[in-house]
């Protein structure tokens, strides 16, 4: 679903660049849940931002569902972002909008009419277990409920790929488990490919079938989670 081929990302001026990613080769299998684990500053956010075109590779190619992200123009990037949902550590909900209206936002942007939006949002609220919170504002929701809204919003445009940027890092262990269970359910029921980044080993062990370990911009190990985390 996603391949990184010799991807290097340099920040800063050409004379004195900072190398955030250094020759990354990686594959994210279709329908799999892949975890990328590494310390703060290892390059995880950079990696994920290359997938939805928020950053551009300095060298190499990032290919998402057959399309090279670096070759897309603005129209192409808009199309890509409908195919790629994203959830965040701090949820990134709009406080002035209800749960329903937060989930509706990407559909409004895509030009859906109100009836089509309702037909899409109501089942999503049910899917994430918030059927009775449609009219609640983010300030009236718990952290876990806010992330459920974030997940529903990410799914609104029926993406093929879900990116998760430390989505459980602001949640307590019990809530973390419930959100991971929801992501697993969505992966199984919708066949959605999931790529998540985390600094927490437990998250990867709980949910990811495949894992890549990143350190100082290099992938130092990758493979099935069972192989990576089982001592020989
Ligand atoms: P593409 O987006 O280029 O079609 P995919 O990653 O979807 O690439 O598939 C490439 C190949 O890898 C296919 O032959 C597919 O069957 C295989 N594949 C996809 N997902 C997995 C996985 N989780 N584990 C092992 N092989 C996989
Ligand atoms: P992680 O998500 O693993 O914490 P990041 O991808 O955010 O890592 O960052 C990797 C490295 O790149 C860090 O040293 C960070 O300071 C640097 N970096 C990230 N974004 C920029 C930027 N826009 N300009 C310069 N350096 C950056």
pLDDT in tens, 19-31: 999 999 999 999 9
pTM score, two decimals? 0.88
User: Which ligand places an atom closest to the C-alpha of 54?
Assistant: 2
Question: What are 170-209's pLDDT values in tens digits?
Answer: 999 999 999 999 999 999 999 999 999 999 999 999 999 9
- CA 126–ligand 1 middle distance (angstroms): 31
Q: Decide if 99 contacts 126 (C-beta within 8 A).
A: no
- CA 4–ligand 1 middle distance (angstroms): 13
221, containing H or E segment: strand 218-224
- Residue 215: how many CA atoms within 13 Å on its side-chain side? 4
Q: Is the CB of 32 under 6 A from ligand 1?
A: yes
Question: What are 108-156's pLDDT values in tens digits?
Answer: 999 999 999 999 999 999 999 999 999 999 999 999 999 999 999 999 9
Beta bridge partners of 27: 3
**Nearest ligand 2 atom to alpha carbon 55:** 23
- CA 230–ligand 2 middle distance (angstroms): 30
ipTM over 0.90: no
The whole-angstrom separation of Cα 195 and Cα 86 is: 10
């Amino acid at each position: 679903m996603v391949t990184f081929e010799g991807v290097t990302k340099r920040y800063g001026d050409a004379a004195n660049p900072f190398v955030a990613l250094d020759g990354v080769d990686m594959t994210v299998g279709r329908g799999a849940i892949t975890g990328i684990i590494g310390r703060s500053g290892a390059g995880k956010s950079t990696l994920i931002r290359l997938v939805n075109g928020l950053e551009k590779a300095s060298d190499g190619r990032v290919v998402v569902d057959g399309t090279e992200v670096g070759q897309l123009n603005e129209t192409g990037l808009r199309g890509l972002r409908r195919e790629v949902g994203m959830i965040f550590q701090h949820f990134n909900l709009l406080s002035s909008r209800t749960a329903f209206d937060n989930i509706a936002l990407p559909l409004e942007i895509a030009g859906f009419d109100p009836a089509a939006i309702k037909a899409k949002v109501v089942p999503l609220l049910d899917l994430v277990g918030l059927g009775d919170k449609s009219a609640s504002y983010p300030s009236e929701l718990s952290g876990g409920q806010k992330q459920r809204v974030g997940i529903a919003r990410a799914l609104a445009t029926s993406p093929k790929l879900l990116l998760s940027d430390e989505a459980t890092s602001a949640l307590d262990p019990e809530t973390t488990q419930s959100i991971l269970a929801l992501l697993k359910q969505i992966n199984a029921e919708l066949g959605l490919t999931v790529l998540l980044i985390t600094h927490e080993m437990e998250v990867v062990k709980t949910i990811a079938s495949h894992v890549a370990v990143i350190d100082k911009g290099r992938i130092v190990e990758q493979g099935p989670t069972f192989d990576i985390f089982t001592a020989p």
